[in-house]
Amino acid sequence: MKYIKKLRKRWQIWRFLKNHPEVAQRRDLLAIAIKQGVENPVGRARRREP
């Protein structure tokens, strides 16, 4: 049951992003920025590994 829930959620997100490419692009840019170590633009700094 948990697996089906997870699949459904992923499907909904995929459909939404397919219909809203500008949101998808923003999400991608956010992910790239966070990977590069830029502080989280939401206001919380990303935890740094010592």
- Gap between the Cα atoms of 8 and 31, Å rounded: 22
Give the confidence band of 36 by pLDDT, cuts at 50, 70, 90. Answer: confident
- Gap between the Cα atoms of 45 and 37, Å rounded: 9
Q: What is the largest CA-CA distance in the chain?
A: 40
pLDDT of residue 7: 92
Q: What is the average pLDDT score of the chain?
A: 79
Per-residue model confidence as pLDDT tens digits over 9-25? 999 988 988 888 888 88
